[in-house]
Structure 1
Amino acid sequence: MRDAQARTIFLKDYTAPAFLIEKTELHFDLEETQARVSSRLLIGRNPELAGNDQDTLQLDGQDMVLESLRIDGTELTSDDYEIADESLTIRALSSFASQSLDEGFVLECVTLIKPQENTSLEGLYKSRTMFCTQCEAEGFRKITYYLDRPDVMSVFTTTIVADKQRYPVLLSNGNDIARGDLDNDRHWVSWEDPFRKPCYLFALVAGDLRHIEDTFTTCTQRDISLRIFVEEKDLDKCDHAMASLKHAMRWDEEVYGREYDLDIFMIVAVDDFNMGAMENKGLNIFNTSCVLANPATTTDLAFQRVESVVAHEYFHNWSGNRVTCRDWFQLSLKEGFTVFRDAEFSADMGSRSVKRVENVSFLRTAQFAEDAGPMAHPVRPDSYMEISNFYTLTIYEKGAEVVRMIRELLGPENFRAGSDLYFERHDGQAVTTEDFVCAMEDASGMNLTQFRRWYTQAGTPQLKISDNYDASAQTYELLVRQSCPPTPDQSHKEPLHIPLRMGLLDADGNELPLVLDGDQGALATAPTERVLEVTREVQSFVFKGIRSKPVPSLLRGFSAPVKLYFDCSRDDLLFIMTRDSDGFNRWSAAQDLAVAVIQEMLTQQQAGEQPQIDVRLINAVGDVLRSAVDDARGAGELDQAMLAQLLSLPSEAYLGELSDEIDVDGIHVVREMLADTLAATHTETFAELYALCQSDAPYSPDALSIARRALKNCCLAYLVRTQEPGWLEVCAGQFTDAGNMTDVDAALRLLINSRAPEAEPLRAQALADFYQRWQHESLVVNQWFSVQAIASRPGTLQQVKALMTHEAFDIRNPNKVRALISAFCNMNAVNFHDLSGEGYTFLADQVIILNRLNPQIAARLLTPLTRWKRYNPARQHLMKAQLERVQADPELSKDVYEVVSKSLKSS
């Protein structure tokens, strides 16, 4: 069994399918204990394969009972085919077909499955009272025997039969073409999708649902029906998703020229879901957390997530559905491109600088960690054991950065021309990342041969930059060295093609004209910002006409996903923080300054000294605060969301990523010390700004209102740190009186983390009141779980274990697992990494349980243990022991086996 689980699939072994499925007709008879699935497939040999005389057909399938199998009306016996754990093989096909296999044959198959027992949440399963599907990546093979691969595209017709009272709503892809009633109070609906698609985009939903409806008029004046289906209790939480969908549809027309193609677009909210959402053609299935939003129950961050995810899944209609991926190694072809598209949409809907800051913060903390760990892989992987393990931050977030770099190099107009060509050239096809890059080259005339290495090399590149100013020649040189550390199976890295956006600032903060040595242009007309193309291991860029030594503003907008090393003085960081025209670099300089101070404090603490705080950082925070106060009193022209970012210290997770050996406790202690000092020093200004950010206006999720609340709650977080009883009472008052979940949630988190003795009764009462009020709202209860799981106070693990026995917790529900178990293990470093090792044992216990219920979730949960080599020897020993314990499980799924085996490799 273990050998079978460890089978590795390689990109180099890809071959086109010998057979294609032209038409797929599905009939589902849904019962309470089982479902009968009848499929009728029109299959023929692939005409594009030269000399294709294949006479054996192997279909994918697992966890089902085969009732009957026919070819062109002839029923096959068990001697005519072979069933294995994950396949059905029919040999001597031509002996059953009524005509040449090149002309095609009809395969009819009837299977029995048990959706009610399907805890993996792949294929057809039951989410409480609702039937639903999740077929990406390889879930369709749990429904019926099929060629379950993305390069087999077919036209689908689906008929669903079910009890009319229990399941009045029956949905599938495409357009509703017929419906009717049957005996025994059953009914049926047929759906037809006119567009060819792979089976991973198939969807089915059957349940007792209600919906809201709207219309969207496209750029060619077609009226599209829009429907969002939910349980009746959630009808008041759909308006934001509907507005987001309409905004996304208009944006995609205006920015990419993409018009929706069907007559109806549907979204269904499902409570039990492994992912965030799924872009099934015309019928998107969403995790409830990514579609339901209401001011009373939903935070600003959740509102923004709904907007982003709704847009992401809609954008997939073109970048993923109309043009799909040839094989799963090309997953980033659709996911990276679509993440880039949804990030740009969100930037246009709110603050572009803040959106970039949020994306880069996540990338530098989480994806860079993935690049440095045992599961590191290229954006286009070379191999995998279980494809579900490759829905990673590298595929999504780094993949989006690769697309962003192409736009940096080509410019917006050529990039749009490239995307137009890509969609036009490959509409209705299953293609590769190479096809995407070729379209960009052909539209722009730029050679991206070297750039392709971004798709094939793993790891986070490093740029080490030094400078030299020659006063007599009035030249300024940037010497750039690029490298990339070894990653699993890739010890040697070739130079990449890296776009380095930059500018130069004079002593007054003015941007200098940039003329490179060898340029013919005049200084007076030269641009003040350039994208340098770094293509060699060592490369020099010399600028002419620089009259005094400038301050370089490097990697503006985070133009490439790299680690930048430049010996920038703290005074220069302060200068960039206050003078740079690039919003991202102002924030980045503030973070770099705080990092430098915290690392200095950490070194002092590790040496047994009393950490000292650089007064320049304290004063810089004071300057930001005074600017924010002056702005709030006056015209209010500053970006309050960016001010909140500037006032926020680097996270413990990011600080850990910058360390060779992560000192969990030391980082926590010195960061807390710095935050406490800033709070004590600037209490009056924080208090004044907190008051100025108050508003009696009705809740709105617009960008300005979200920014004001973010700044207000940032101030409150510092004020509660002072441990003055008055501010604890203000916090408790905000929890009780706030008219929106954002302010309630912020106050609850502060009460739970407060170290003041007076906080204990307030904390206990707040938790009890919160649950009592929201116990019937599953998503809000998940917030309640999370806020307790990430508390930095001692004893949190015991609280998490107690909550696992709570009536509201269900380990079979991925949202509950993420809210409690994953939140503790991923977001509570100081408690998870307690030297007792209890956190590691706890995580391994849950992985072993979930391995039998939902291997996908179990594998993802393992991430904190996979990075065991980054910690001190004592923690390494404890973490490795738990990985070995998981690996010893005799029933280990291939999902978990792949993660564990790679984590322990070369230990």
Structure 2
Amino acid sequence: MNKKTEQTIPQPIYRHDYRQPDYWIDKVELAVDLHDDVTIVRSILQIRRNKDTASEGQPLVLNGEKLTLKEIALNGQPLPESAYQVDREALIIFSVPDHFELSTVVAIKPHENTELVGLYQSNGNYCTQCEAESFRRITYFLDRPDVMATYSTTISADKARYPVLLSNGNRVATGELENNRHWVRWEDPFRKPSYLFALVAGQLVCHHGTFKTMSGREIRLEIWVEPQNIDKCEHALLSLQKAMQWDEQTFGLEYDLDVYMIVAVNDFNMGAMENKGLNVFNSKFVLCRPDTATDDDYEDIEAVIAHEYFHNWTGNRVTCRDWFQLTLKEGLTVYRDQRFTADMTDFALKRIRDVKKLRTLQFAEDQGPMAHPIRPESYIEMNNFYTITVYEKGAEVVRLYETLLGKEGFAKGLARYFEKHDGQAVTCDDFRVAMAEANQIDLTPLDRWYSQAGTPVCEVRGRYDAEQMTYTLQVTQSRAPTPAVQPAFMPCLIPIRVSLFDPKGQALPLQLADENVPIGEERLLSLSETQQQFIFVNIPQEPVLSFLRGFSAPVQVKMQRPREHLAFLMAHDNDSFNRWDAGQILAQELLLNLAQDWAAGRELKLDPLFIQSFGKILTDSRLNPSLKAMAMMLPDEKFLGQQIEPIDVDALYEARSFMTRVLARTFRRELLALYQQYHSTSPYSNSRSAIDARRLKNTVLRHFLTALQDEEVIALIGQQFQHADNMTDMQAALSCLMELEIPEREQALQQFYGRWQHDPLVLDKWFALQASSSLPKTLDRVLSLASHPDFNLRNPNRVRSLIWTFCSLNQVRFHSADGRAYKFLAELVLELDRLNPQLASRLVGAFNQWRRFDKLRRNLMESQLNTIIAQPNLSTDVYEIVSRSLNYR
């Protein structure tokens, strides 16, 4: 990883500077010889000059980091040292012909690789992570996504220690070597960029299945795991089969190789990686059994398995021209996995969850120093731009195409995209043009969604004219405040779904002023100017507006509405998302008022209208239990903090705690009845109804009944923990105990640890639950756990479970006014930066909102940021985050 010193300040790379490479690589032959002390990589590259960019005699510059060059030959002839130059980032060959073969031999040391990029070891097994720019850690190469080649890979290793040798494509040959070694050769017939290269070797076993494609081909499906995990793979296999079938049925996309492989590894910086034909996964998103994984874990596994499979077409067959186009593959594939999960589970529930994540995390990113368009204009370290903006907001922008074109039009556009660009490295503009061509529509107005940072804000005013029987809707768009320097905001194309309801809760037929007849009870309006108005006619009574139904665009909405209107929509809106959203808006308004009252020392009182509305949700038997659980949940403190400045963490915590206690006390009988109704004593089931039941009863227990802290509730929690036959119920009960200062808490923690200390993924839960506690001494517990024998800085999952959970999710305790947590995080970031800069940069982002807090906390966080950036040899990963955080205004 590049390091920053006092003499060298990293410089940004700009999108407008893109140019094609001076040379193309058409074919790659790799031989990777694995040994304990050193790995030898032999490469043969077929290279040709790009006549559009490079003149004759142009030097060849190949990327390479942490490589020891042993041999180099051009067209079979060894090169003298005077013919080339090697530095810490490149191999430069001064003169090459137009077409040639370049052979190199390099030595690398995967066992010393703590950054988990390139080729490294995890639990004694070898694996790779090459995205974005880490193939250069394996051999010298033009390590950029627009250089696409075919690959053949031969792996050799000790047969006893590494019986399984995997790479991209199809296995074509195997053989034996001296000294109990063996080799396997793989060939990938599809051109791919170097970031999709993969290699895995180790003591692994296979859980396998098959899938018959729509053309009748039988594909072998292989999930490779460590032997002790072989009984935790069936759900991943079923998820893969579902994803393959869904992609065929929805978009007509068929898998192309003879085998599809997934490997689960414990040490992984990301969630998973879509390497062609050989996906490498964080074990968190593969391994599960009912007693070790929650219902949410099961759903996450299904979604991530699908996501990486969908990349075979949206990312692999058609890839990015350059890394500024990352959302081309990631935003599109997130959109595809969201649709898949919605079809596999519940559309409304999935939509609500996705929007909650976007509003809580991405909207916050838009308000901080890392604000950037979904297609960034510059970066210092590309790893820092695998962001929620690129992924989740990128998915929302892709959803705009579906909203405008309909699902059929979107499918036509996607088919056109593959027809034009299969096997190519392309841009976001190419995707938009293909969508437009297929539907014969001008989609140029969508371009601003790719080029502008920040969250658009729609200010909404509705006016009813009883005499004219018209309802005028006026909408103005601007941009939410973005501290990072951004160009002037230009209006975007914002599709807005709306409905109007009469006082009885009936949706009205909608007719615009320039139309002859009503066209449906829901209308899609297109806002493309800074300000527009829409006039609905023949409206017999003053209506209640349902605006941005289904969250039809990723925008903030500012609208003055009586609380009675919000309560009305909570009860009557037939759009499940907006019904949920109305309750959230009402709760948010009340919580912010309560926070102000607490800060001012005023008595706290909860509006009876909200209590009444909450009671209606609680007793609505028509609501799906999972949706009811979601509707009951109050806005979390992190999201609430985005709505005020300065962020008053203590006031928000006290306000939310007060509202929870009032609701719990008011509806104690109803909550207990709901818990008993949905608390099954039957054996575990993974049916949809059983999942819904667990979700509702655990929401009732964790988020409301626990606040009562009475003996009956404590007994319920203890009984659920002791008798749970699944991790969903056990984890829920333990999370309740984490909020209670009672002896049973420590007893349960010891019991949980004793049972699960040898299962890394379950032990991650043990760390995370303690880090998420809102009890006052949580920081002391976290400090103690950071010295626990099972805490390991080299394992990203363990670091995320304890440190990220505490610093990013536990707002009230991380931002304690004494600043101890800030100092702890800064010291840990510096220690981790020497081991794994990618992980360190993710953690230091917990400081990104520092300017939005009160003066005391601002000064404390700024001091720690200055301490970090003053360190010599800081990685570019951490330097970019910290420098942007310190420099924005």
Q: TM-score, normalised by structure 2?
A: 0.98
**Does residue 1:75 correspond to 2:68, yes or no?**
no
Match of 1:727 among 713, 730, 736: 713
Gaps of 5+ in 2: none
Pick from 68, 93, 110 the counterpart of residue 90 of structure 1.
93
Partner SS state of residue 149, structure 1 = coil
User: C-alpha separation between the residues in 2 aligned to 1:670 and 1:141?
Assistant: 52
CA distance in structure 2 between the partners assigned to 1:431 and 1:127 by the alignment: 34
Amino acid at match of 1:461: P
Task: Give 2:17's aligned residue.
Answer: 13
Cα pair 2:705 2:713 within 8 Å, conserved: yes
Where 2:336 maps in the other structure, the secondary structure is: helix
Secondary structure of the corresponding residue to residue 153 of structure 2:
strand
Residue in 2 that maps onto 1:512 = 508
1:84 and 1:687 map into 2 onto residues whose CA distance is 68
Q: Following TM superposition, by how much is the alpha carbon of 1:604 offset from its aligned partner in structure 2, in angstroms?
A: 1.6
Does 2:135 match 1:153?
Answer: no
Which string of whole-angstrom CA distances, capped at 9 and with x for unpartnered residues, describes residues 730-761 of structure 1?
1011001011000000000001112xxxx521
Mapped contact 1:652–1:667 kept (Cα < 8 A): yes
Are the counterparts in 2 of residues 410 and 446 from structure 1 also a CA contact under 8 Å? no
Distance between the aligned counterparts of 1:300 and 1:52, measured in 2?
59
Could you say what secondary structure the match of 2:874 adopts? coil
Q: Which moved more, 1:239-248 or 1:566-575?
A: 566-575
Equivalence map 1:532-543=2 (5 Å): 532-543=525-536
Other-structure match for 1:686: 671
What is the distance in 1 between the residues matched to 2:351 and 2:784?
39
**Distance apart, 1:487 and its partner CA:** 5.0
1:3 CA displacement: 5.7
Of residues 454, 460, 472, the one that matches 1:459 is: 454
**Equivalent position amino acid for 2:84 in 1:** Y
Number of aligned pairs?
883
**Structure 1 residues 266-275 or 863-872, which shifts more?**
863-872
Which residue, 46, 53, 56 being the options, matches 1:42?
A: 46
- 2:820: which partner in 1? 838
Any idea what SS the aligned residue of 2:372 has? coil
Aligned Cα root-mean-square deviation (Å): 1.1
- Of 162, 171, 177 in structure 2, the residue corresponding to residue 176 of structure 1 is 171
Question: 2:596 corresponds to which residue?
Answer: 603
1:404 Cα deviation after fit: 0.4
Alignment of 1:205-354 (within 5 A): 205-354=200-349
Q: Deviations over 1:820-840 (max 9, x none)?
A: 111110111111100000011
Alignment of 1:745-764 (within 5 A): 745-754=731-740, 759-764=741-746
> What are the within-5 Å matches in structure 2 for residues 621-636 of structure 1?
621-627=614-620, 631=621
Shift of 1:704: 2.6
CA contact (8 A) 1:486 1:493 kept: no
Instruction: Note if contact 1:22-1:41 (Cα within 8 Å) is conserved in structure 2.
Output: yes
Q: What letter corresponds to residue 79 of structure 1 in structure 2? A: S
SS at match of 1:553: strand
- After superposition, the Cα gap between the structure-2 partners of 1:50 and 1:87, relative to the gap in structure 1 and judged at 3 Å, is closer
User: 2:22–2:49: 8 Å Cα contact kept in structure 1?
Assistant: yes
1:32 and 2:27 aligned: no
Per-residue deviation, residues 58-90 of structure 1 (Å, max 9, x unmatched): 000001100011100111122111112111111
Q: Which of the pair has the greater relative contact order for Cα pairs under 8 Å at 6+ separation?
A: 2
1:579 pairs, out of 566, 572, 586, with 572
C-alpha separation in 1, matches of 2:880 and 2:853: 22
**Aligned mates of 2:265, 2:17 — CA distance in 1:** 37
Percent identity of equivalent pairs: 48
**How big is the shift at 1:146?**
0.2
Contact between 1:495 and 1:535, CA under 8 Å: does it hold in 2? Answer: yes
Partner of 1:97: none
> Are 1:390 and 2:385 an aligned pair?
yes
* Residue matched to 1:790: 772
CA–CA separation in structure 1 for the residues paired with 2:179 and 2:386: 43
Residue 802 to residue 13, structure 1, CA distance change in 2 (3 Å)? same
1:230 Cα deviation from its structure 2 partner:
0.3
Q: What is the match of residue 883 of structure 2?
A: 901
Cα distance change on mapping 1:51 and 1:838 into 2, 3 Å: closer
Whether the 8 Å contact between 1:168 and 1:208 is mirrored in structure 2 is: yes
Code of the aligned partner of 1:736: Q
Matched letter for residue 129 of structure 1? G
CA distance in structure 2 between the aligned counterparts of 1:535 and 1:407, rounded to whole angstroms: 17
- Assess if the C-alpha contact under 8 Å between 2:571 and 2:616 holds in 1: no
Distance 1:50 1:328, change over 3 A: closer
Look up the SS of the partner of 1:93 in the other structure.
coil
Question: Structure 1, residues 164-217: CA drift from partner, whole Å, max 9, x if none?
Answer: 000000000000000011110000000000000000000000000001110000
Residue 471 of structure 1: CA displacement?
A: 1.0
1:5·1:897 contact (CA, 8 Å) conserved in 2?
A: no
Distance 1:135 1:712, change over 3 A: same
Report what 1:854 is aligned to: 836
8 Å Cα contact 2:366/2:482 also seen in 1: no
Counterpart Cα distance in 1 of 2:780 and 2:67: 41
Residue in structure 2 matched with residue 189 of structure 1 by the alignment: 184
Q: CA deviation at 1:699?
A: 2.6
Shift in Å, 1:245: 0.3
Q: Structure 1 counterpart of 2:78, which letter? A: E
Distance across 2 between alignment mates of 1:460 and 1:39: 47
CA contact (8 A) 1:825 1:832 kept: yes
Aligned residues of 1:719 and 1:727 also touching (Cα < 8 A): yes
Tell me how far 1:891 sits from its aligned partner.
Answer: 1.3
Q: CA deviation at 1:606?
A: 2.1
AA of the residue aligned to 2:762? V
How far apart are 1:412 and its partner, in Å? 1.4
Deviates more, 1:565-574 or 1:311-320: 565-574
Q: CA-to-partner distance for each residue in 1:564-621, whole Å, 9 max, x for gaps? A: 0111111111111111110000100010111111112112222221121101111111
Give the Cα separation in 1 of the matches to 2:539 and 2:243.
45
Deviates more, 1:82-91 or 1:365-374: 82-91
Amino acid at match of 1:258: L
1: distance between equivalents of 2:639 and 2:815? 16
Specify the code of the residue in structure 2 equivalent to 1:893.
Answer: S
Alignment of 1:462-611 (within 5 A): 462-484=457-479, 485-520=481-516, 522-523=517-518, 526-611=519-604
Return the letter of the residue paired with 1:874.
L
> 1:373 aligned to 358, 368, 379, which one?
368
Q: Is 2:783 the partner of 1:801? A: yes
How far apart are the structure 2 equivalents of 1:510 and 1:552? 12
3-state DSSP of counterpart to 2:550: helix
Q: Residues of 2 paired with 1:333 and 1:186: CA distance? A: 42
The AA in structure 2 aligned to 1:519 is E
* SS of residue matched to 1:714: helix
Classify the secondary structure of the residue corresponding to 1:548. Answer: coil
Identify the residue that residue 760 of structure 2 maps to in structure 1.
778
For residues 471-499 of structure 1, the C-alpha deviation after alignment (integer angstroms, 9 at most, x for no partner) is 11111011000001345331411111101
Which residue matches 2:59?
56
User: Secondary structure, in 3 states, of the residue corresponding to 1:558?
Assistant: coil
Structure 2 residue matching 1:500: 3-state secondary structure: strand
Rounded to whole Å, the distance in 2 between the matches of 1:906 and 1:148 is: 32
2:317 & 2:568 partners in 1: Cα distance? Answer: 48
Does the 8 Å CA contact 2:70/2:107 hold for their aligned counterparts? yes
The equivalent residue for 1:124 is 119
